[in-house]
């Protein structure tokens, strides 16, 4: 998948703390980002597309940057908050099914 800076940045950020991260790219610019999380006994899958991830990161960043990360870009703040949400979901919810990142952000499982 050519030209996927948001998916590439998500993968880079997820890998910063050392977990293994793999991307499986699909049709229509979709991507499954698979993450090994030591605290769970299965791969955690984040399912998104470049366009949805870009929209989510931008929306989240616009809503939080000034209050939480004023020295960051909108995109950087958006990624920061998205990863906070991912950590919260992994710590508190069932992650055996893929977690969806839509234009509205991370869709929390029940």
Question: How far apart, in whole angstroms, are the C-alpha atoms of residue 97 and residue 107?
Answer: 12
Domain range for 28 is 5-105
> Does the residue 110 lie in any domain?
no
Backbone φ and ψ of 25, nearest 5°: -90, 140
pLDDT at 1 over 60: no
Query: Which pLDDT value is given to residue 28?
Result: 80
Question: Is residue 34, in this structure, part of any structural domain at all?
Answer: yes
Comparison of pLDDT for 27 and 12, the residue scoring more: 12
> What integer pLDDT is reported at residue 2 of this predicted model?
57
| Any domain includes 50 | yes
Length of the chain in terms of residues written? 110
Task: Count up the domains in the chain and report the number.
Answer: 1
pLDDT digits (tens, 9 = 90+) for 41-70: 999 999 999 999 999 999 999 999 999 999
In a domain, 81, yes or no: yes
| pLDDT averaged over every residue in the chain | 94
pLDDT of 8 over the 50 cut:
yes
In a domain, 82, yes or no: yes
């Amino acid at each position: 998948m050519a030209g996927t800076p948001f998916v590439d940045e998500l993968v880079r950020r997820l890998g910063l703390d050392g977990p293994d991260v793999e991307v499986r790219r699909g049709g229509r610019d979709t991507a499954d980002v698979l993450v090994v999380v030591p605290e769970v006994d299965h791969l955690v899958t984040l399912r998104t597309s470049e366009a949805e991830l870009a929209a989510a990161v931008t929306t989240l960043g616009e809503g939080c940057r000034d209050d939480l990360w004023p020295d960051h870009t909108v995109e950087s703040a958006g990624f920061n908050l998205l990863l906070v949400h991912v950590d919260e979901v992994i710590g508190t919810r069932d992650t055996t099914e893929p977690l969806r990142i839509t234009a509205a952000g991370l869709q929390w499982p029940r």
